[in-house]
Amino acid sequence: MKKHGKILAAVLVLCVIVGTTVCAQSQKPNSQLKFAFSVMIMDNPYFIAVKKGFEDRCKELGIQSVVNDAKYDAATQFSQVENYTAMGVDAIVVAPVDARGITTVVDKAKAKKIVVISEAQGFDNADANVIVNDYDYGVAGGKNAAKWINEKLGGKAEVAIVAQDNVEAVIKRGNGIEDTIKKLCPNAKIVARQTGDTPELAMKIAETVMQAHPNVKVWQCVNDSGALGVYQAIKAMGKNSADFYVGGADATAEALAKMKETGSIYRATVDIDPYGTGKKCVDVMLDYVRHGVKHETFYFEMKPVWQSGD
């Protein structure tokens, strides 16, 4: 009995050193685990794909899942994380609307030994970040636009950017686009940079900008959600000439389908494997629940995707 008591004491000490998350949760069968995902906005094709990857991977592993749409509202997302904590979920992934505003409620979840990771954009107190380097992501999109300007338009063009400057971290993505076009195409002129969160907003932006700047031939968007809206607006206006360029990012299924349409002006996107990212989040969360937090950062790989397959 004394020997067993010493072993038990040693295990308890190990729990304190390693963290109760491992000792309390590592032996749960997958069927008793519950993972939650607060999505920044589900109107975005990128997040639709991430959500599907998350849910599919949870189903593959027999893990319960719950997903909610924050609808680009920081207060809504804050409440969602509070609710997940009250539910006693085992892990939470947050695609943050406000990376700073989420920190206090994340601390509360972590105090309950819940693993919390970020997706898309990071926040300082996340147990892990599965994120994009937003500036580099913008550079990748900017390079696509610059290639078109230099190869198809002789290095000169009026350019419009659809950004997401209402999301702090994504401002850098727009900056990456803008800086890259200016660097690689010094004779091009950026005549507009506006924020479009959804295809509907991007359509309105395209209509307004084309009225003020009818010679715009290049639209680079920070994501496919904006690019899809611009694409539809340009087609409706009859401006879809052979030298017109619309570019996005995320390589969503809808964007790839539009690129294949006959006479499409949707020229390029950037693949960061959103579906695979959703699955990756589940794998990271499960690893941390089973073996303890490692405080890792995983950056998305970026691959240009062109109509022609270049």
Does the pLDDT value for residue 26 go beyond 60?
A: no
The rounded distance, in Å, linking the Cα atoms of 220 and 218 is 7
State the first-to-last Cα distance of the chain, in angstroms, to the nearest integer: 71
Q: What is the pLDDT of residue 308?
A: 80
User: Is there a single domain that holds both residue 141 and residue 261?
Assistant: yes
Given pLDDT bands bounded at 50, 70 and 90, which one contains residue 18?
Answer: very low
Residue 143 vs residue 197, higher pLDDT = 143
For residue 206, being part of any structural domain is answered with yes
Report if residue 208 sits inside a domain. yes
Q: Compute the distance between CA of residue 28 and CA of residue 147 in angstroms, rounded to an integer.
A: 52
- Residue 275 sits at the vertex; the CA angle it makes with 288 and 145, to the nearest 5 degrees, is 120
Task: Look at the chain and count its residues.
Answer: 310
Burial of residue 211 (number of CB atoms within 10 Å: 0-12, 13-18, 19+): exposed
The percent of residues above 70 in pLDDT, for the chain, comes to: 91
Residue 95 makes CB contacts below 8 A (sequence gap 6+) with: 37, 38, 39, 40, 47, 50, 70, 118, 119, 120, 121
Residue 97 has pLDDT above 80, yes or no: yes
Domain containing residue 199: 134-271
Co-location of 109 and 153 in the same domain: no
Query: pLDDT for 39-71, tens place per residue?
Result: 999 988 889 999 999 999 999 999 999 999 999
Same domain (yes/no): 267, 283: no
Q: Are residues 35 and 120 in the same domain?
A: yes
Judgement on whether residues 241 and 139 belong to the same structural domain of the protein: yes
Same domain, 144 and 255: yes
Q: Are residues 26 and 106 in the same domain?
A: yes
Is the residue at 205 inside a domain?
Answer: yes
Task: Please tell me the total count of domains within the chain.
Answer: 2
Residue 180 and residue 111 share a domain: no
- Judged by DSSP in three states, 156 sits in coil
Q: What is the mean pLDDT of residues 199-228?
A: 97
Q: Tell me whether residue 1 is in a domain.
A: no
Query: Two tokens at 55?
Result: 């849910």
> 213: which 2 tokens?
């700047």
What are the pLDDT digits (tens) for 138-176?
Answer: 999 999 999 999 999 999 999 999 999 988 889 999 999
The predicted structure's pLDDT at residue 167: 83
- Mean pLDDT to the nearest integer, 288-309: 93
Q: Are residues 125 and 141 located together in one domain of the fold?
A: no
CATH of the domain at 239: 3.40.50.2300
Digit-coded pLDDT (tens) for 275-296: 999 999 999 999 999 999 999 9
- Tell me the per-residue pLDDT of 224-250, one tens digit each, with 9 for 90 and over: 999 999 999 999 999 999 999 999 999
Indicate if 204 and 283 belong to the same structural domain.
Answer: no
Residues 130-153 as b or e (16 or more Cβ within 10 Å = b)? bbbbbbebbbbbbbbbbbbbbebb
Residues 266 and 146 in one domain: yes
Q: What's the whole-number mean pLDDT along residues 96-117? A: 96
How high is the pLDDT of residue 120?
A: 92
Q: In the predicted model, is pLDDT for residue 8 greater than 70? A: no
